[in-house]
Every structure is written in C-alpha cells, then in structure tokens.
Amino acid sequence: MDMNTTVRLARRPVGSPVPEDWAIAEEPMPVVGEGQFLVRTTYISLDPAMRGWLDDRPSYLPPVGLGEVMRAGTVGEVVQSRHPKFPIGTIVQSTGGVQSFALSDGRGVTRVDPALGAPSTYLGVLGITGLTAYFGLLEHGRPRPGDTVVVSGAAGAVGTIVGQLARINGCRTIGIAGGPEKCRMVVDELGFDAAIDYRDPAMRKELRAAAPDGIDVYFDNVGGEVLNAALASLAMHARVVICGAISQYNADAVVPGPSNYLSLLVRRATMSGFLVFDYEREYATARRRLAGWVAQGRITAPETIVEGQVSDFHDVFMRLFSGDNVGKLLLSIQG
C-alpha cells in the first residue's frame, strides 16, 4: 500500500531554516470522499514568500501552523476521483503542499491546459510567479514606451518575466542580479539592455551610469540596500513596485526601513505594494497572453528543476537564499 510522505512544520525557524524545523513522516493515504479527488504530486514550487509563511505574525496569508503540512504550490495528476469535473488522469495545479499526495474538493484548483504550456510552467511563467510579474508591472508599474525599468532579483522567477514584459512594452530594461554569470544571462539570453551585480561595491555608481536620466519604474524583489540604491536614482514621477524583500526574509531582528524614502517626495514618485491574489478574476486572460508571448519567443521562462523526493524539500528550499538557481525553482518528485 502506498504511503503519503509529508513535510510538516515542527518549529518556527529563527533566522535561516534548518532541517530540524521540519518533521518528515510516512502517513496513511488520504481517503477520497464524495466530491473529492486525490492528486499525486509531480512538481513542488519553491518560492521566497514561503519563508514569510513560517513566522507567527500577521500577513496576507495565515502562517503555516505548527504540525501542519508545509504550504506550497504544486502540480500533480489525479489518481483517484469521486468528483465529476476532475477524472482520473487530469493534470492540475493547486496549493497541494509538501507531500506526495493531496486530497482536494476542487476549490483553488486549476486544470493544466497542455495547449498553453508544459505542466511545470503552471508553477512558473503561467503560474503565480508569471502572474505576479504581469500584474505587478502592468497594473502598478504602468510602463510606457521609452521608460527605463529596473528590476531587482532579475534572474529569479518573477524578475526574469518582469524584465521581458518591460521590453515587450517598449522599455529600456536594467536587471540587478547576483554575480557575473547571472548578469550575463539576463542580458544575453533574456534580452535585458543592461545588468548590474548587486555584490559589486560600485553598484550605486553603476546604476546611476546605466540609468542617467533616472529610473521610471523600479520593481523590487529584494529590499534592503538594493532598494535604497534604486530610490536614490528615481526619475520624476517614478513608480516603485514592492513585490518582495528576499534580502531580509531570514533576518532574526527588526530590519530598518529604506533611508532614501524622501526621494519619493523629491521626485513626486509613488511606492505601492500589491498581491497577485487581488487579480484572480483576470488570471485566465493574463495566462493566455503570457502563453502567447512564450510561443512567439518573446518571453523565455528559465527553470531550475531539481529531481528528488518530498523529503528533499529543505535542501532545495534553501537554494532560494544561496542564489543557487535561475528562474523558477522546482522540485520534481521522482518515482
């Protein structure tokens, strides 16, 4: 009889998560009731936001409870079903969590359309990360042809798509990434106009040189000193879009806010945060547009797919914070 491998939150991390923060167990298979179906997990999404879900503090989603299966986006195949809309063999995307099998009643589940993209893309460019880039840039950044758009975390799942969407909208695009290889990749493979290594001590000087007339749209995935540097180089009426702050997710003390925030006043700029969930009714339209640009070769969606087991979750998760991935990071469940 198959067993269900689960990864549950054993304790709340202090600073960077460690293996002891998780409890890995072999549990009985969920029983499928009327109106339910069972999904065998094939891909687990690894996202920086998951770190925030581990802290017991108010946020846009409730924290993962102690003893609960770790929350995660997943793609999988329906293997048992008592639900008329999800027959056996259907490929679905949902928040199935870090486990081998997930029970569902269909709420919050998206059927994967192979005509739009491969299953893995429903966790990347056609999933929450691609939709985040789409709505964050287009609705909050409001790019105009000729604008200079700067995106931090430019080699990550969201940043790679933001930069390419900016180019589709006729903008000059500058990426901020970690290390010369990632900087080369966003220029040579993704078509950014320039890239800056945030590890370079001369980052601020290089950013000013790359955007001599100022930054019209800054899309922030990093926070910290990178955000400060961008605020110091804003153009008049710039739009700053706050998507994430991966540089401080593992901080074990209060992180000071940006010291250059008065640039917003001087430049008559705006800074706004957003949640992709606010645009749920528009997901289908955005997904079709993104899929079309991918098919046309106007968007390249890099993936880092690590083959392994559910029990490998911690090691793969920590790759987000070491910078050891490009584009969307996924754990592909083998066997």
44-58 residue pLDDT tens: 999 999 999 999 988
Instruction: Render pLDDT for 291-319 as a digit per residue (tens, 0 to 9).
Output: 999 999 999 999 999 999 999 999 999 99
Whether 31 is covered by a domain: the verdict is yes
- Reported confidence tier of residue 198, pLDDT bands at 50, 70, 90: very high
SS3 35: coil
| Whether 55 and 174 share a structural domain | no
Task: Give the whole-angstrom CA distance, residue 182 versus residue 189.
Answer: 10
Whether 324 shows a pLDDT value over 90: the answer reads no
> What's the whole-number mean pLDDT along residues 15-25?
96
Is 40 within 8 Å of 88 (Cβ atoms)? no
Determine the distance from the C-alpha atom of residue 196 to the mean position of all C-alpha atoms in its chain, rounded to a whole number.
21
Strand-pair category, 303-308 with 328-333: parallel
Q: Give the Cβ contact number of residue 199 at 10 Å.
A: 12
Alpha helices in 117-192 (DSSP H): 128-135, 157-168, 180-188
- We report the CATH number of the domain holding residue 320 as 3.90.180.10
Is 113 within 8 Å of 288 (Cβ atoms)? no
- We report the CATH number of the domain holding residue 231 as 3.40.50.720
| Number of domains forming the structure of the chain | 2
| Whether 138 and 272 share a structural domain | yes
Angle at CA of residue 308, ends 304 and 312, nearest 5°: 95
**Gyration radius (Cα) of the chain, Å:** 20
Angle at CA of residue 242, ends 240 and 244, nearest 5°: 145
DSSP 8-state secondary structure symbol assigned to residue 139: I
- Reported confidence tier of residue 35, pLDDT bands at 50, 70, 90: very high
Between the CA of residue 169 and those of 126, 134, 143, 154, 173, what are the distances in Å? 19, 11, 7, 17, 10
Residue whose pair of structure tokens reads 């691609």 in the numeric block: 130
Whether 292 is covered by a domain: the verdict is no
Task: Give the whole-angstrom CA distance, residue 285 versus residue 289.
Answer: 6
Which residue among 277, 294, 319 closes a domain?
Answer: 277
Task: Give the whole-angstrom CA distance, residue 271 versus residue 144.
Answer: 17
> What's the whole-number mean pLDDT along residues 118-141?
98
> What's the whole-number mean pLDDT along residues 193-203?
96
| Whether 172 and 200 share a structural domain | yes
| Whether 138 and 91 share a structural domain | no
Q: How high does pLDDT run on average in the chain?
A: 95
Instruction: Render pLDDT for 274-298 as a digit per residue (tens, 0 to 9).
Output: 999 999 999 999 999 999 999 999 9
pLDDT of residue 121: 98
- Residue 80 β-bridge partners: 38
Q: Report the percentage of the chain scoring pLDDT > 70.
A: 99
> What's the whole-number mean pLDDT along residues 103-112?
97
Name which of 48, 113, 67, 55 is nearest 287 in CA terms.
113
| Whether 108 and 222 share a structural domain | no
Task: Give the whole-angstrom CA distance, residue 33 versus residue 31.
Answer: 6
pLDDT of residue 301: 96
Is 217 within 8 Å of 137 (Cβ atoms)? yes
| Whether 180 and 113 share a structural domain | no
Domain that holds residue 36: 3-119+302-333
Whether 252 shows a pLDDT value over 70: the answer reads no
- Reported confidence tier of residue 245, pLDDT bands at 50, 70, 90: confident
Which residue among 277, 293, 319 closes a domain?
Answer: 277
**Predicted TM-score (pTM) of this structure:** 0.94
